[in-house]
Structure 1
Amino acid sequence: MPVNRNALIRYRTIDQCLQNRRRKWTLDDLIAACGDAIYEYQGIDTGVSRRTVQADIEMMRSNKLGYEAPIVVVDKKYYTYSDKNYSITNSPLNQQDMQVLSEVSGLLKQFKGFNHFTDLNEMVSKLEDKIYSQKTQSSPVIDFEKNDNLKGLEWIEVIRKAIVAKKAICITYQSFKAREASTFCFSGYLLKEYRNRWFVLGMQHKRNAHIMTLALDRIQAVEVDEEPYRENRTLDLATYYNDCLGVTKSPGQRDCEVVFWVDAANAPYVITKPLHHTQKVLSEDETGKIFSIKVILNFELERELLGFGAKMRVLGPRILVKQIKAQLVKTLANYENNQE
């Protein structure tokens, strides 16, 4: 059954709304959300009728498009999914989808050999594996790293749209250290993923406005704000994180040379998977190798180095050696205090 672009936008919008279980969705809320989405993607500002959205919901509930979405009405007013993990994006692909995916995969594979398109390799592999598993009705042969319980993913599209449209957003946020949540205006500049967690870099609107990085899994609410968007005029977003592991960084923070020794048994792992793109081998002997990387000192760096345990020894700078030693003393004390 052919489906026009506007209908697909509405289905996707309804699906995103019903996945957001932090809010209760009435039919009027869904109508408004669909109208906003059509205007954003198509530039059409005629609105969406009540009958259209009701028909969309019935279509999503049916198996005509293969969705069979478990949409229910709670308290005779609020729409939601009875299965909190459901999404139409998880639905099996039909033949038309498979054909399109195959064509896209074939197109992308033409670029795999070019250095400028090395980032496409994983995308192509994922597509090919998806196509293979769908065609053969068998298990995938590639298992990519994922975290099904990851929080905050529902904010990615909202924040991305705000960044593209250069709109300020109002964020309700509670860090792990804060006793309670706070709400503030924020201009986002860059979404970044690090180890399956998502972050947004931007500027908080205050008198002492400053650049900050927020973890999406600590966000409780996001709404478009009427305050003027504050343009990024100081940061090179393409290189901002080049001198650090992770995302903990302050503008103006300087990198330094971090030197560390890794024993002979584990040095090959560090060579084949460098800690940072600046990694160099300074020297080696039968006991192991000495490496260096040029990065800023932050929490993620300490955690990465501590993860090697006795297989690694940090040699410099002096302040980092002191911090690593302090962490190891605390670790040893934790074990000694728990002895029976």
Structure 2
Amino acid sequence: MANSKHAHIRYNILDYCFRNKSYNFNDLLSYVNDKIAEIYPGEGISTRTLREDIKVFRNKDKGFAAPLPENIRILRYTNLDFSIAQKPLLDYEQYLIDASQQLLERFENHPKYNKLSEALIKFQDGEEENDTSKILFYDSNEEYKGIRFLKPLYLAIKKKQVLQITFKGFQDEIATTFEFHPHILKQYNNRWFVFGLNNTSTIKEWSIPLDERLIKFDVLEDATYIESEVDWDTFFRTMVGVVRPKNAKVVKVVLRFYNGRENYFKTKPFHPDFEEFFEEDKQDQVWFETIINKELVQQILSYGQDVEVLAPKRLKEQMLEHANSMSKYYNK
């Protein structure tokens, strides 16, 4: 039987190697042990354990049935599109998930872990094999492939690693590379972004979307990691979304709602620190302090004719420009 200690970690490492690397057995053993030691210092596996793991990958009945031929010097899938992520869970993996779920349920009502209830019910609902029996349907972006970058970037931040980023914007003709010190990850509108220091351009609040524009990143082993000086909580509380124009100033935004839509805004505000007015004749208004960016304008536009910008003047003018441009589409 294969060694069960850290087996789930080993399987993911091996799956990555068989798809992306070309190692012989000894090189593969060294790589796996290096990766395990990064997470659990001083630990590793034996030659015997690796041989047993490879048997699990090849086993068609109780393993992954991976396209990994016998009697070859270089261990690599013959079908590079294969991944164990596509295969049903092994009994051992299902046991780990069930045990983890039971452990998490013990903390479900603890105030420190108040998001566990939502996570657990999503997980339980997703276990149903028959889609018609599903109870829960929630926002998701099934075409979003950038999620594969999330864990590696999370670990890079934890390990304080300096990265070389290769990035190609939608309008760029060629890709660019730069030195990047990752500091935080931020989710917005079902997409993830990593923020940090672009040391090539000396910009402390650089953001990178985790999507097809991020071509790849490599660890710069000899570079010294620079800690963040940014108060990220204040940074995000004074803006909507993730784009902060250069030299943007915080202003007071006042909105008036119509047709009772202020109630909807108050239950699901797009700015976390909004305030209400005390005056009786202003109960349909709210205000908050923020910078002006495209995401703010987009959120206001989502209310259509049920919202009016009262201040500041610059934002009112932007909304008027949008309204005039949109009216041209329908006055033809």
What TM-score bracket applies, with the shorter chain setting the length?
Answer: 0.7 to 0.9
Structure 2 match to 1:296: 291
Structure 2 match to 1:8: 8
Give the Cα separation in 2 of the matches to 1:302 and 1:2: 56
Give the Cα separation in 2 of the matches to 1:100 and 1:240: 39
Structure 2 match to 1:62: 59
Inter-CA distance 332–57: structure 2 relative to 1 (3 Å threshold)? farther
Give the Cα separation in 1 of the matches to 2:12 and 2:78: 14
Aligned length: 327
Inter-CA distance 16–263: structure 2 relative to 1 (3 Å threshold)? farther
Q: Contact 1:187/1:229 (CA < 8 Å) preserved in 2?
A: no
Give the Cα separation in 2 of the matches to 1:35 and 1:119: 35
> Shift in Å at residue 225 of structure 1?
0.8
Give the Cα separation in 2 of the matches to 1:146 and 1:214: 20
Give the Cα separation in 2 of the matches to 1:137 and 1:324: 43
Inter-CA distance 331–150: structure 2 relative to 1 (3 Å threshold)? same
Normalised by the length of structure 2, the TM-score is: 0.81
Structure 1 match to 2:124: 128
Q: 1:142 aligns with which of 136, 145, 152?
A: 136
> Shift in Å at residue 48 of structure 1?
7.7
Give the Cα separation in 2 of the matches to 1:228 and 1:167: 8
Q: Contact 1:129/1:141 (CA < 8 Å) preserved in 2?
A: yes
Normalised by the length of structure 1, the TM-score is: 0.79
Residue 315 (structure 2) pairs with residue 323 (structure 1): no
> Shift in Å at residue 6 of structure 1?
4.6
Structure 2 match to 1:210: 204
2:239 is matched by which residue type in structure 1?
C
Structure 1 match to 2:41: 43
- Within-5 A mapping of 1:1-340: 3-16=3-16, 24-28=20-24, 31=28, 33-44=31-42, 56-65=53-62, 67-69=64-66, 79-80=76-77, 82=79, 84=81, 87-89=83-85, 91-93=87-89, 97-98=93-94, 100-130=96-126, 133=128, 139-206=133-200, 208-217=202-211, 218-249=213-244, 253-282=248-277, 289-336=284-331, 339=332
> Shift in Å at residue 78 of structure 1?
8.7
| Structure 2 residue matching 1:245: 3-state secondary structure | coil
Give the Cα separation in 1 of the matches to 2:238 and 2:155: 27
Q: Contact 2:164/2:177 (CA < 8 Å) preserved in 1?
A: yes
Give the Cα separation in 2 of the matches to 1:148 and 1:66: 28
| Structure 2 residue matching 1:241: 3-state secondary structure | helix
2:148 is matched by which residue type in structure 1?
E
Q: Percent same amino acid at aligned positions?
A: 25
Give the Cα separation in 2 of the matches to 1:250 and 1:238: 17
Question: Structure 1 unaligned runs (5+)?
Answer: none
Give the Cα separation in 1 of the matches to 2:279 and 2:90: 56
| Structure 1 residue matching 2:242: 3-state secondary structure | coil
Give the Cα separation in 1 of the matches to 2:67 and 2:305: 52
Question: Structure 2 unaligned runs (5+)?
Answer: none
Q: Contact 1:11/1:56 (CA < 8 Å) preserved in 2?
A: yes
| Structure 2 residue matching 1:300: 3-state secondary structure | helix
Give the Cα separation in 1 of the matches to 2:69 and 2:241: 41
Give the Cα separation in 2 of the matches to 1:212 and 1:111: 36
Q: Contact 1:186/1:202 (CA < 8 Å) preserved in 2?
A: yes
> Shift in Å at residue 227 of structure 1?
4.5
Report Cα offsets for 1:253-285 as digits up to 9, x if no partner: 543221112222433322221222212333798
CA RMSD in angstroms, aligned pairs only: 3.8
Q: Contact 2:167/2:214 (CA < 8 Å) preserved in 1?
A: yes
Q: Contact 2:310/2:316 (CA < 8 Å) preserved in 1?
A: yes
